[in-house]
């Protein structure tokens, strides 16, 4: 009375090439990650490597641009901070990583 009858159902027919169809369904996802790597991840890693080399090569007297847009000459170098002279007698302490560009000599007057 409380138990309903269980009716046996036939098993679905096995499709031929089951493993192949599952691989084909994953192909667009894998292809999307490959394209994402070459369009976004690889160029970003290249920029990071170039920026790291730029920051490590800083020397006293280099003319730099900071992330905030300040121009100045490097007057003192520390391990993680540098002192940038933005005007005569005006020195600003910034993080090394905030330097975005090294200018050619003679740009800052």
The domain limits of the chain are 19-57, 59-109
pLDDT greater than 90 at residue 61: yes
From edge to edge, which strands make up the β-sheet containing 81-87?
90-95, 81-87, 71-77, 63-66, 99-103
pTM over 0.75: no
Provide the H-helix boundaries in the chain: 18-36, 42-56
Beta bridge partners of 84: 74, 92
Q: Which fold has domain 59-109?
A: SH3 type barrels. (2.30.30)
- Token readout for 45 is 């890693």
pLDDT for res 22: 84
Tell me what the mean pLDDT of segment 27-41 comes to: 93
Q: Is 6 a residue whose pLDDT tops 70? A: no
Can you tell me whether residue 88 is helix, strand or coil? coil
Residue 16 banded pLDDT, cuts 50, 70, 90: low
Mean pLDDT of the chain: 88
């Amino acid at each position: 009375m409380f138990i309903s009858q269980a009716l046996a159902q036939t098993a679905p027919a096995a499709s031929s090439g089951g493993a192949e169809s599952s691989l084909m369904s994953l192909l667009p996802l894998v292809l999307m990650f490959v394209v994402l790597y070459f369009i976004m991840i690889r160029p970003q890693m290249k920029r990071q490597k170039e920026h790291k080399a730029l920051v490590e090569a800083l020397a006293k007297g280099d003319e730099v641009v900071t992330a905030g847009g300040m121009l100045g000459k490097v007057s003192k170098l520390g391990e993680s901070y540098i002192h940038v002279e933005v005007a005569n007698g005006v020195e600003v302490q910034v993080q090394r990583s905030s330097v975005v560009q090294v200018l050619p000599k003679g740009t800052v007057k």
